[in-house]
Amino acid sequence: MGALTAEPVAAAATGLAARLAGVTVEVRGRGRDSSAGAPAGAGVVWRADGLILTNAHVAKGAVSIVLPDRRVLPARLVARDVEQDLAALVVEATGLSAAEIGDSDALRVGELVLAVGNPLGIVRALSAGLVHATGRRFIEADLRLAPGNSGGPLADARGRVVGLNAMIVGGLAVAVPSRAGWRFVRERLAG
């Protein structure tokens, strides 16, 4: 029987991190944060036609998006729901690498999840943890988030986006479930 080595696991983890970074954007806004060069938050490329989902609290002053290839594009806010903490931005770009969206209702307590965002200005940083609780309005996980992670993807161990990171409550990361994101897109952007 052959010995197990860490190399295949490490290669899979770095590949997954790169794939998630490739669908995570920087959301830049007006004021102090943008002039200092720090992202206001993050967003997920939801569709290849330029639709980006983020949190409503990130998008309230959004003016531009920095794509993974470092292109800076103006963003147009097309829908915002403060109660659900969701916002849809559109950039004039096609052929973007879009995230694979997973089913947040299938997520179980104890599953490994990953978060990508721009915490404290560190672009596309990765954090990992376990699902602590799930619900229709939120997912809680024991992973590290900081200002700048908001709006970025919460992904399962296969790299499917199951939520959008929103905040820290009681030391736990809280994310808006992907099902809420799909419903928001369907209801607000139909037609």
Task: Check if 10-90 and 104-185 are the same fold.
Answer: yes
Give residue 34's pLDDT. Answer: 44
Largest CA distance in the chain: 60
DSSP state of 120: G
Between 13 and 189, the higher pLDDT residue: 189
127 is catalytic: no
How is domain 10-90 classified at the CATH fold level?
Answer: Thrombin, subunit H (2.40.10)
What is the pLDDT, as a whole number, of residue 144? 92
Residue 35 has which token pair?
Answer: 């002039």
Residue in 33, 49, 57, 81 annotated catalytic: 57
| Nearest Cα to Cα of residue 175 among 142, 4, 183, 184 | 142
- Averaged pLDDT for residues 145-154: 94
- Mean pLDDT lowest for which of 6-15, 126-135, 176-185? 6-15
Pick the CATH number of 104-185 from 2.60.40.10, 3.40.190.10, 2.40.50.100, 2.40.10.10: 2.40.10.10
Which of 64, 104, 127, 150 is labelled catalytic? 150
Residue type for position 81 = D
Choose the catalytic residue: 85, 127, 132, 156: 85
57 catalytic? Reply is yes
Give residue 189's region: left, alpha or beta (phi > 0; psi -120 to 50): alpha
- Dist. CA 91–CA 67, nearest whole Å: 10
Q: What is the pLDDT of residues 47-87, one digit of tens each?
A: 999 999 999 999 987 689 999 999 999 999 999 999 999 99
Each domain of the chain, given as residue ranges in start order, spans 10-90, 104-185
Instruction: Tell me the chain's radius of gyration from C-alpha atoms.
Output: 16
What average pLDDT does range 34-40 have in this prediction? 55
Q: What is the pLDDT of residue 36?
A: 43
Count how many Cα atoms sit within 13 Å of the Cα of residue 84 in the half-sphere of its side chain: 23
Task: Please give the share of the chain, as a percent, with pLDDT higher than 70.
Answer: 89
The pLDDT score that the predictor gives to residue 35 is 41
Give me 3's structure tokens: 């010995």
Question: Is residue 102 very low, low, confident or very high in pLDDT (cuts 50, 70, 90)?
Answer: very high
Average pLDDT over residues 137-164: 95
The confidence score (pLDDT) of residue 184 equals: 97
This prediction has a pTM of 0.90
- For residue 13, pLDDT over 90 is answered with no
Q: Annotated catalytic, 132?
A: no
